[in-house]
Structure 1
Amino acid sequence: MTRRRGWALDAAFGALIALGQAPFGVIPAALIGLAGMIWRVSTPGSGRARAARGWRAGAAYFAVTLHWIVEPFLVDVPRHGWMAPFALVLMAGGLALFWGLAGWTAARWQARGSAMAGFALAFTLAEMLRSYIFTGFPWGLIGTIWIDTAPAQTVAYWGLHGLGLATLGALSAGLALGARLQVRGRAVATGAGLLGSLALLGLLAVAGALRPPAPAIPPEAPTLRLVQPNAAQHLKWDPEMIPLFFQRQLTLTAQPPEGPAPDLILWPETAIAYRLGGARPLLIQGAEAAGGVPLVLGAVRQTPAGPTNALAVIDPDGRPGAIYDKAHLVPFGEYIPFGDLAARLGIRGLAVAEGGGFHAGPGPVLLDLGALGQALPLICYEAIFPQFGRSQARAADWMLQITNDAWFGSFAGPQQHLILARFRAIERGLPLVRAANTGISTVIDSRGAMGAHLPLNTLGALDAPLPPRSTPPPYARMGDLPLAILLSLALALGVLRTVYLTARPVERD
């Protein structure tokens, strides 16, 4: 195979894998792409060559999956537009290094079947690594292609990394079986490998289908109202539009319910365009529109340490009660390192005007909402992290996410963000309630199933009952640590075995 054809093939496999992610959701294409990538990386070659194959597949995958990353830079084109192509190229190329590392590791095995198994182990560890280091970015994990299928439920036992490993393992086993049967003919080998992979994926589906259903919603369950003002990001801070968007929220809050009266009203992230401490007149109007019902909203809050991206519970008198300051901020969005210095050079975070950006809060907390129980607040980006707030979640009754997905455009970004929130519900056995500025606002039960929802780019309010929690599944208690230890041991033993077999002298007659 020529170098040019090899490069094109690697990129094609990466793009096929990306078609499994939202909004495409073509799982067969993703499985074909994964199988092709495993086959290419396990093909004999140097560590450098195999790393390059993994990197090329990863670069194409992340370029397609994360193409929405340019959207935030296009909100204010004169100021940030020039960064858009660099952001996508650097993001795709940088994240693909983890796939390249897995490819290099696969070269430690000489036998093709062993290389496939080694690549599956190394790939999963590499994806774990990118989920944690440099604040982590667990977006676009392979396991997320399974949303709305039975295998998705297995994340309750081993998380998204475990689901990704099971997917690669099933494909690797089928490919290894096919490689062993090559001497019996290509058709026999291909058929046996395909059947083997399908059988293992079928077992994965059975394991997920055996999970008990989510508890039924009782008739006396509290009712929540989710308010979606649909404020386009390029207009959200326009002085002429700010009153219009605020009035939308007041009108939707005050509209008569068609069923039970709401017990709590949720507005999205940065729902008001003024600092929380100086917005008392607006908070009073919001409380009056809520008619005595507690109101949750997002706003920028000034603290002695600096501004924060905050969530506040407003009481019937229009005063902030419980407050949560976002703890896991978006790098280069809500803050940049050495922000004041960078601001002098004309480089600022996308979401804030201050050079230093937002100040991070102290960490996850629980909000005591009285009859509505204990809620774990998550602001936007925080819902993508399986580890964020995991210990607090064990004592929570539900999760509350407010977000402004207008930053992510209106195609792939918001849908992928929603899917990650749904996986948090499955992993923790907790319902998740989501109020989004431009959508998708919804209530998610403890098995990740969506109830009624407000679609993207629509104005409206949704009244929905709060689902009950389930018994915390194993992953909610243990997280990724057990899988990381097992993977590391398996990978180390595999490498040692290869070294031993390579170093062992050959007996001669």
Structure 2
Amino acid sequence: MLKQIRAFAQQKSRPSALRLVLAFALGASTALSFAPYSIWIIYPFAMAIALWHSRALDAKASFYYWLSFGFGCFAVGISWVHVSMDTFGGMPLIASVGLMALLALYLALYPALTGLALAWLTKTLSKNGETTFSLWRNLALFPALWTMTEWARGWVMTGFPWLWAGYSQTQGPLKPLASIIGALGLSFVLAMLAGALALFFTKRYKSLLLLLPLSILAVWAAPKVSDIHPTGENVKVALVQGNIPQSMKWEPDALWPTLLKYMDLSREHFDADIIIWPEAAIPAPESMVQDFLDNANKVANLNHTSIITGIISHQSNEFYNSLIVLGNHNQKQQAGPDYEGDGSNQFKKHHLLPIGEFVPFEALLRPIAPFFNLPMSSFARGEYQQPNLSALGHKIAPAICYEIAFPEQLRDSVNQGTDILLTVSNDAWFGSSNGPLQHMEIAQMRAIELGRPLLRATNNGVTAVVDEHGNITASLPQFETGVLSATIPLVTGQTWFAKLGQTPLLLLSGLLVLLGFGRRVKAQ
């Protein structure tokens, strides 16, 4: 049986149906490495087996093999995308699944490009013209290519950096390294370990036996070189989960009941320093609810608290998905500015979600289906870099919903004076699928990278408090109305990732790819 498997793996350029099915299955298995399953070890093993099976393929066959692997990753890993189209977008199930499959196929192009480049760059390095299964190929070139293509997936066509391999380590043993190299750096390390494991399958043990203790040593050392330490100061917060049904959230008749619900839920928690309502908790433009905002501002000031809420702001004939701060001073400290409704102390979302918040080629797409006319799908972009929100003197770096998946954007908003990371969301679009849980996992990684506690307030979950190590310290159940009250110990200092970001990793990966190209040219 083993001989048959080896013979199958050594077929050179025929991406047979069986081979492609195997690649798809390996890719699909990686979904188990992410929330809610978090079986992190599956990812490097699946990657290693795929790398081993594809070692004798030429560039064209390798492209199709890794395309199938990637399609398995995303067809299963982001299958929840179709929920919003089917349930709330007015599309037939077959159409929503079809569009989801097209998205998965597009995302699969990135691992396919890794496979194509890996086979092409190593093809002529052996005398018989086959790709070589070398240390250079597995431990340097493959991790570099995988990292570069994941990075590209995070910005091409506005970016979709979901299910980076590194996120599988949010609950895994390598997660302390994220404070130095970030989630993308963890992808590099996982790809390198997968390369060593693939060599192990061919009875070449030395690289794995060397990399494992080095990885353990690096994980042990990461906290030792950290500059993050407690300030001794605490902040009391209350995160309000309104659990407003998505079907009624944007109905005009539901506006005032929604506002009253959030105020009633907050009333018993006015002893908190900061009360947080989720994304678009106030589902209307500021000007439409100005009286309510003025009264809420007065109530917050009388109780010496601040309310941060999602709202639709309107300036210069443009609408923005925004956060504002109501009530901003107390008897102990004047922390201004108080709420003025003039755009000050406000955050406007920059990285908008395609279709959900803006529609590309809208003249073509909007007439096709109700899905392309979702409520508030014509937002303008806020500035890329905006000042931290100020709430009772505390500096808060926000990210609204999808933005939390972009590490460099949040990093560029964090400075030494930032006390807390904040992300608000409304994941009711995705029902009881894995999407909101993966979203929570991504937010946890930002806390590790930037060394700050993170608050996540949502409409129906996951509402949670995360410490500077990425651990959830308190949370509310999904799909329930409630308020999460917690006391947050503040920290100061900067992680290495906060100082350097992804630049060193990208330079290293780019250099390795250039070296691979140079070796390819030299060998011809």
Please give the secondary structure, in 2, of the residue aligned with 1:392: coil
2:57 to 45, 49, 56: 45
TM-score, with normalisation over the residues of structure 2? 0.85
Distance change (3 Å), C-alpha of 1:436 and 1:491 = same
Letter in 1 for 2:433: F
Q: CA deviation at 1:402?
A: 1.6
Distance change (3 Å), C-alpha of 1:476 and 1:217 = closer
Please give the secondary structure, in 2, of the residue aligned with 1:60: helix
1:269 to 263, 274, 279: 279
Would the aligned equivalents of 1:269 and 1:379 in 2 still touch at CA under 8 Å?
A: yes
Query: How far apart, in 2, do the equivalents of 1:271 and 1:398 lie?
Result: 20
Q: CA RMSD in A?
A: 2.6
Please give the secondary structure, in 2, of the residue aligned with 1:295: strand
2:387 to 366, 369, 374: 366
Q: CA deviation at 1:50?
A: 0.6
1:102 to 114, 126, 138: 114
Please give the secondary structure, in 1, of the residue aligned with 2:491: coil
Q: Paired residue for 1:186?
A: none
Q: Paired residue for 2:358?
A: 335
Letter in 1 for 2:220: V
Q: CA deviation at 1:196?
A: 5.8
1:392 maps onto 2:413 in alignment: yes
Distance change (3 Å), C-alpha of 1:82 and 1:298 = farther
Query: How far apart, in 2, do the equivalents of 1:277 and 1:390 lie?
Result: 32
1:166 maps onto 2:189 in alignment: yes
Would the aligned equivalents of 2:274 and 2:307 in 1 still touch at CA under 8 Å?
A: yes
Letter in 2 for 1:358: F
1:424 to 430, 446, 453: 446
Letter in 1 for 2:39: V
Which deviates more, 456-465 or 205-214? 205-214
Structure number with greater CO (CA < 8 Å, separation at least 6) is 2
2:81 to 65, 69, 79: 69
Distance change (3 Å), C-alpha of 1:394 and 1:232 = same
Distance change (3 Å), C-alpha of 1:125 and 1:360 = same
Letter in 1 for 2:357: E
Q: Paired residue for 2:502?
A: 480
Q: What stretches of structure 2 of length at least 5 have no aligned partner?
A: 1-7, 9-14, 123-130, 329-337
Q: Deviations over 1:367-400 (max 9, x none)?
A: 3525442211211111110111423302422222
Please give the secondary structure, in 2, of the residue aligned with 1:302: strand
Q: CA deviation at 1:244?
A: 3.8
Distance change (3 Å), C-alpha of 1:176 and 1:7 = same
Would the aligned equivalents of 1:214 and 1:445 in 2 still touch at CA under 8 Å?
A: no
Q: Paired residue for 1:225?
A: 238
2:248 to 235, 239, 255: 235
Q: Paired residue for 1:506?
A: none
Q: Paired residue for 2:138?
A: 116
Please give the secondary structure, in 1, of the residue aligned with 2:238: strand
Q: Paired residue for 1:21?
A: 34
1:411 maps onto 2:421 in alignment: no
Q: Paired residue for 2:72?
A: 60
Alignment: residue pair count: 486
Query: How far apart, in 1, do the equivalents of 2:518 and 2:356 lie?
Result: 43
Letter in 2 for 1:53: Y
Q: CA deviation at 1:401?
A: 1.6
Q: What stretches of structure 1 of length at least 5 have no aligned partner?
A: 182-188, 504-509
Letter in 2 for 1:151: L
Q: Paired residue for 2:126?
A: none
Query: How far apart, in 2, do the equivalents of 1:36 and 1:294 lie?
Result: 53
Letter in 2 for 1:253: S
Query: How far apart, in 2, do the equivalents of 1:295 and 1:149 lie?
Result: 35
Please give the secondary structure, in 2, of the residue aligned with 1:274: strand
Query: How far apart, in 2, do the equivalents of 1:77 and 1:346 lie?
Result: 8
Q: CA deviation at 1:364?
A: 2.9
Q: Deviations over 1:295-318 (max 9, x none)?
A: 111111222242111111123897
Would the aligned equivalents of 1:298 and 1:311 in 2 still touch at CA under 8 Å?
A: yes
Would the aligned equivalents of 2:90 and 2:370 in 1 still touch at CA under 8 Å?
A: no
Letter in 2 for 1:485: L
Letter in 2 for 1:380: C
1:247 maps onto 2:247 in alignment: no
Q: CA deviation at 1:51?
A: 1.0
TM-score, with normalisation over the residues of structure 1? 0.88
Would the aligned equivalents of 1:431 and 1:443 in 2 still touch at CA under 8 Å?
A: yes
Would the aligned equivalents of 1:311 and 1:324 in 2 still touch at CA under 8 Å?
A: yes
The alignment-based identity, stated in percent, is: 27
Distance change (3 Å), C-alpha of 1:49 and 1:115 = farther
Which deviates more, 197-206 or 31-40? 197-206
